Structure 1
Amino acid sequence: MSGSWLPCTSVRRRVTVAVMAAAFVVAPVAAPSAASGLSPAYAEDSTQCTFPSKPIKGTPWAIQRIQLDRLWEVSEGEGMKVAVIDTGVDTTNKQLKGAVDTRNGRNFLKPKKDKYGQTPPVGNKNGTGDAVGHGTKVAGIIAARPDKAHTGFVGIAPKATILPIRQNDESGNGNAQTLADAINYAVSRNVNVINISQDTDKPLGKNSALGVAVQRALDKGIVVVASAGNDGLGGNVKKTYPAAYPGVLAVAASDRNNERAPFSQSGDFVDVAAPGVSVVSTVPKGGHCIDNGTSFSAPYVAGVAALLRAKHPDWSAQNIVARIEQTAERAIPGRDIHVGWGVVDPVRALTDDSPPIEQPKASGGVQKAAVPDVPPLPPGETFQERNERLATYAIVGGAVLVAVIAGAALVYRDWQIRVRGQRPR
């Protein structure tokens, strides 16, 4: 991310598929702005999306892995306010109507003249304008209301309220100062959880404006959740901010197999992982789109934090974080640099009635699935894996076809020689 701030939405993955000498590339929707310092945690888009979009009727895999009835028997997040510091939140999507605090939202982007000397609008003052769709997707994962007649998609905490705070856009015009201002504003509005789906790899110390703002939120008992970033391809291991600040719940992206998504940033600061591949969520003006990125893993965890906050109003923010980490599904007893303490298990986090803890501990062995009576998900694959598989099929199939044609030509030639006693003309 080279120091730029961008929403951690999808890993806007550039997928190149070679099929019979042709290449198809899906380019990112938004490029980081190196000058600005802040970059949305976008992964590379695997689908094209327009606003409005058609509703996705089925139940997304990230929701299928949860027993929602059992989860919501404990809490639906009622009374909880989650600040979404992002590109704004569009309220015309009907699943977000009634879910957004339009009175107290805020827009921290300042109008800037473009190369033509024009000053394009920067959205509504209350943070509800979202030309990018990133913030609207993040908000939907947290608190989208049910719409069973049209879709199986719903937010993790469907009775929580979103406080929209806009401080970034598709060009990465947000910076460390606007993010700090947004966090300070969220603190002043007495939110319970803050979600930040953007990051920078520029080292920002605890005494920087951003570091001070994050610490102020933590001192107020607010759970701060941040995406780890999408620069993990090639095995990159580095810290990103604000996720790397002590006390912040840093979230990596996992796939259908509970493994780290290839793009997900690794590092010793990563605390947990959550679904970040082929994630369905709400988009401006209605409908849904599919996206990838740690941007969408973070709100999944922020939704769980809101549910826990509602269940345990007397717990500290650290108690909430430790419960999420301790109940995550692990492949090893302790923590690693790829998925932290494991993949978040919302049901187990909510139904575990053990006393609060300050820090997670390594288990005595490999943890099993939180709900053993739930049928396991069928093996899945990421878009990259699927495209690589299809490319292989196409190349192998093409080679077989060429071999068949060449063989048939030889057979035909030999037949003519044998029947006519001469070579074909």
Structure 2
Amino acid sequence: MRARRLALAAPAAALLLLPCAAPVGHAATVLDGDGECTYPAPQIKGTPWSLQRVLLDQLWQYGRGEGVKVAVIDTGVDNRNPQLRQAVDTRDGEDLIDPKGDGTDDTVGHGTEVAGIIAARPASGTGFVGIAPQATIIPIRQNDDQGHGDTKTLAKAVDDAVRDGARVINISQDVANPLTPDPVLGAAVRHALDSDVVVVAAAGNDGSGGKLNTTYPAAYPGVLAVGASDRDDERADFSQAGSFVGVAAPGVDMVSTVPLGGQCADNGTSFSAPYVAAVAALVRAKHPGWTAGQVVAQIEQTADRVDPGRNDFIGWGVVDPVRALTDDARPIDHPVPDQRSAATGERVRPAALTLGETPQQRAERTATYALGAAVVLVAAIAGGTVVVRDARRRRTSR
């Protein structure tokens, strides 16, 4: 089976079709991913780069997300994939498109990929595993490739996730058109936050060129909006920038589970958000007494920064899962700028605005080359001196 996902960065004509499927008065929602996969897919044997950057043994020394429910509001989660069979809670699962379903029908594959990044169990034959591989997934099917999801069903999905005991909610989609104040969706998000639930949402994929925009539900106050970073911990070109972005996380060549079995690689902030949602699950498991706001502040405070504070391109920085779980002596309510960097007055140019290396990186590289050349030159002179000296000694000894 081959499935194609509509992306926020898709041609405008494709996006215009989505609102037509939505009931009058409710904006359609759009899946924030791109790419194409065949289901089932072959196993990807190696360890994905997004996991290679994390010391998993150190990350999991305090637990693997046991006891934490994470609601995945998406296109469903196919638990026929062996890595998700034990991760998905079908009792609390829900299908808002097919009332007879339990949230495990995923004809698109998008939700199955999202869920795998959070809680896929280890399996032989692949190096891929979820960041929180003992967390429990609540699958809520709210959208499909026909754009049947809208702000009304998204609001209901959020409310139902809270009712079913989710401690973290992942939303890897946003509205197709600019959102006017929507009391239904806004109230549902506020209810979740007031119920002490961490709400994580994809920032969107319409950021090419670094242009600023605002997307919902990621931009609602209190929601942890996640942009996408690449292998160099720089903002992925497509990742939406804006004042609402909280952190960034890997979102390029993201390996995850697909329906029926196997894995594939995909791109998008859709797959950055669950990376952070999984870290939130680990923090909640380790610190059950921390509030949702403190969990979010912890993730933002411990992110790998390029500025003393936040910027509109990667927020407070690229998430650091290990530091979020280890630099946690006490809870904080809000992230604060890096005082050491602020004291020097140094500001690193945001990686999002560069196509190559920054001026600082160029200067560092040039200095490194110069130092290397000097070392080689000194070694050559010293080596030549030794050769001449030894030659003289040999002539003298004859």
TM-score band (shorter)? 0.7 to 0.9
Contact 1:90 1:129 in 2 (8 A): yes
2:54 aligned with 1:78, yes or no? Answer: no
2:48 aligned with 1:60, yes or no? Answer: yes
2:135 aligned with 1:138, yes or no? Answer: no
State the SS of the aligned residue for 1:34.
helix
TM-score, length of structure 1 as denominator length: 0.75
The separation in 2 between residues aligned to 1:97 and 1:366, in whole angstroms, is: 46
Aligned to 1:104: 92
| Paired amino acid for 1:71 | L
2:272 aligned with 1:297, yes or no? Answer: yes
| Paired amino acid for 1:239 | T
The separation in 1 between residues aligned to 2:211 and 2:29, in whole angstroms, is: 17
Aligned to 1:17: none
| Paired amino acid for 1:136 | T
Runs of 4+ deviating beyond 4 Å: 7-14, 28-32
The separation in 2 between residues aligned to 1:284 and 1:31, in whole angstroms, is: 28
The Cα of 1:124 is off from its aligned counterpart by 5.4
Contact 1:12 1:292 in 2 (8 A): no
**Quick one: structure 1 residues 12 and 203, their matched pair in 2 at CA, closer, same or farther if it must change by over 3 Å?**
closer
| Paired amino acid for 1:133 | G
Aligned to 1:227: 202
Q: How does 1:396-411 map to 2 (within 5 A)?
A: none
What do the CA deviations read for 1:25-54 (whole angstroms, capped 9, x no partner)?
xxx999861333233333432xx4111000
2:258 aligned with 1:283, yes or no? Answer: yes
2:14 aligned with 1:39, yes or no? Answer: no
The Cα of 1:268 is off from its aligned counterpart by 0.2
What do the CA deviations read for 1:52-74 (whole angstroms, capped 9, x no partner)?
00010000000000000000001
**Quick one: structure 1 residues 232 and 144, their matched pair in 2 at CA, closer, same or farther if it must change by over 3 Å?**
same
The separation in 1 between residues aligned to 2:339 and 2:209, in whole angstroms, is: 32
The separation in 1 between residues aligned to 2:315 and 2:251, in whole angstroms, is: 15
What do the CA deviations read for 1:300-333 (whole angstroms, capped 9, x no partner)?
0000000000011011000000000000000111
Q: How does 1:177-216 map to 2 (within 5 A)?
A: 177-200=152-175, 201-205=177-181, 208-216=183-191
Aligned to 2:386: none
State the SS of the aligned residue for 2:201.
strand
The Cα of 1:11 is off from its aligned counterpart by 6.6
Contact 1:38 1:198 in 2 (8 A): no
The separation in 2 between residues aligned to 1:311 and 1:32, in whole angstroms, is: 44
Identity %: 58
**Quick one: structure 1 residues 32 and 280, their matched pair in 2 at CA, closer, same or farther if it must change by over 3 Å?**
farther
2:330 aligned with 1:355, yes or no? Answer: yes
The separation in 2 between residues aligned to 1:214 and 1:9, in whole angstroms, is: 24
Aligned to 1:269: 244
2:24 aligned with 1:49, yes or no? Answer: no
Which one of 147, 152, 157 corresponds to residue 172 of structure 1?
Answer: 147
The Cα of 1:143 is off from its aligned counterpart by 0.2
State the SS of the aligned residue for 2:249.
strand
CA RMSD of aligned residues (A): 2.4
Q: How does 1:81-96 map to 2 (within 5 A)?
A: 81-96=69-84
The separation in 2 between residues aligned to 1:296 and 1:366, in whole angstroms, is: 31
**Quick one: structure 1 residues 344 and 32, their matched pair in 2 at CA, closer, same or farther if it must change by over 3 Å?**
farther
State the SS of the aligned residue for 2:19.
coil
Aligned to 1:329: 304
Contact 1:123 1:130 in 2 (8 A): no
**Quick one: structure 1 residues 366 and 329, their matched pair in 2 at CA, closer, same or farther if it must change by over 3 Å?**
farther
| Paired amino acid for 2:218 | A
Contact 1:87 1:168 in 2 (8 A): yes
The Cα of 1:103 is off from its aligned counterpart by 1.3
Select the structure that is richer in helix.
Answer: 2
What do the CA deviations read for 1:219-239 (whole angstroms, capped 9, x no partner)?
000000000000111332111
The Cα of 1:104 is off from its aligned counterpart by 1.4
The separation in 2 between residues aligned to 1:167 and 1:327, in whole angstroms, is: 32
The separation in 1 between residues aligned to 2:180 and 2:8, in whole angstroms, is: 23
Aligned to 1:341: 316
The Cα of 1:364 is off from its aligned counterpart by 2.2
- Work out the number of aligned pairs and report it: 335
